[in-house]
Every structure is written in C-alpha cells, then in structure tokens.
C-alpha cells in the first residue's frame, strides 16, 4: 500500500515531545523524511528519531530556537543539506504560560509572542525558500483558546488568534506559489508539559471541568491531533487552504 507522503520531507518544530513528537512519528509512518526540531530537549528529540528509524523511517534531530532568527535560518539550511528539499512545515513549537492581567509583564508578552508568532513567521519564510516548483504545505498548530479565550490567558490567547490570522493571510499570499497554509486548533491535550504542571492530572479540577464541557467526555491525546496534520500535509487536502480545524472533542 502506497504511503501518503512517500518521498516528501517535513520539518516539525518543537518535536521532541508531546503533540510535536506524535506528528513527527505519524508523518514518518506515511513515508516522509522528518526533521525533528528541538530547542533544548536533545534527549527527547533523539528518542523520537530512534523510534522513527526503528520503525523503518528516516529522521534527523536539529537543534534550533525558532524564536531566534539566526537559529531558524540555520535549521532550514541544515534541512537542505540533510535531505535536499522540503515539502511540509509543521509550526508546532510554542509556549503556553498563562498570566492574569495583573501578572502580565513585557517579558511574559515577548517570551510568548516571540515563539508562538514570530517563530512561526520566520520558519514559514525560510520554508518557502526550500519548497520546490510543486509548492508545499504549512500546517500551524494553534489552539481552541484563539476563540474560546478563557480568563487569565490574554497573552496566550492573543498569540494563538494571531496564528489563525496568519494562517488565513499566508494562504492568500502563498497560494500563487502552490503553497497551502492551514492550522489545527487542539483543545486540552495530555502531554508531558501539562502533566508536569498538574493540569491534566486525573484529580485536576480544571481537567474535570473541561471534560464536563466536552461532548465526547475526555481531553485529547497527541495521537488525536497528528492524523489531521498528516491529512493537511498530504495530497488528499490539495484543495484546502486558509482553514482552521478545531480538534477538541466538541469543546467550544
């Protein structure tokens, strides 16, 4: 059986754990050669690469902090050297620190937006330079909070609303170059980060509240998000661009 992404090359930012790691593994399972980007968790990225290779796929880990322009340029330069081309970019790297209005500082604002917004723009800019005449696909990982906007998340929600706006804007700007741009907007997903923070612990009141408001009755897993990214990266979505796909079990 042919694989959807056979012969393609994908970069997944922030892919050492959580949603990014699952996306990288799913893309590789469909035949893509994958660049597993990480900022600081080399061990996590190496583990993702090892698992992909053990399953018969191709992957390399490349360190880069995508909030830094020089790192982004190097990331895509090394991608070109490793695989000679690029077909898919998944902008997954992000930070989800929350702060109420009285706790917001310039440092918190810039830390969040430099990674969630500027990093996405810089990575997209460099990816387009590597896409060939056939174009490519950019998939941005946004969040349901771009529209749900819970209290205490002003900066984070604003950053994800920016991702949605950028998705629609770049879809129009890059369409003539045969580059499609879409986003997936997950609800609460259980990852290493949310587990460490106690957000998704079984006894967490916040988790129970979200589950009670979710028609499907549970929070998400990384594997709930990755297949949608594969679809938006593949020829199966060839006439889809500028869209935001909410993946949240019906939570709004």
Among the listed residues 66, 156, 167, 245, the single catalytic one is 156
Rounded Cα–Cα distance for residues 215 and 33 (Å): 36
Backbone φ and ψ for 107, nearest 5 degrees, come out as -65, -45
Is there a catalytic annotation at residue 38? no
Catalytically active residues are 156
């Amino acid at each position: 059986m042919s694989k959807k992404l056979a012969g393609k090359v994908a970069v997944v930012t922030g892919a050492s754990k959580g949603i990014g790691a699952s996306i990288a593994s799913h893309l590789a399972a469909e035949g893509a050669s994958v660049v597993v980007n990480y900022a600081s968790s080399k061990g996590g990225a190496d583990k993702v690469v090892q698992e992909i290779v053990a399953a018969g796929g191709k992957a390399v880990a490349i360190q880069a902090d995508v909030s830094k322009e020089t790192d982004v340029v190097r990331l895509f330069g090394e991608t070109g050297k490793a695989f000679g081309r690029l077909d898919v970019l998944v902008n997954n790297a992000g930070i989800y620190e929350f702060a109420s209005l009285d706790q917001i500082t310039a440092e918190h604002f810039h830390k969040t937006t430099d990674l969630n917004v500027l990093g996405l723009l810089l990575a997209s800019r460099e990816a387009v330079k590597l896409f060939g005449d056939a174009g490519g696909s950019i998939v941005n990982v946004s969040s349901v909070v771009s529209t749900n906007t819970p209290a205490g998340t002003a900066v984070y929600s604003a950053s994800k609303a920016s991702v949605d706006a950028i998705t629609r804007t770049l879809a129009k700007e890059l369409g003539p170059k045969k580059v499609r741009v879409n986003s997936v907007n997950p609800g609460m997903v259980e990852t290493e980060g949310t587990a460490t923070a106690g957000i998704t612990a079984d006894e967490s009141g916040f988790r129970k509240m979200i589950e009670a408001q979710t028609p499907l009755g549970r929070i998400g897993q990384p594997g709930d998000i990755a297949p949608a990214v594969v679809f938006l990266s593949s020829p199966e979505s060839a006439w889809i661009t500028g869209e935001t796909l909410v993946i949240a079990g019906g939570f709004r």
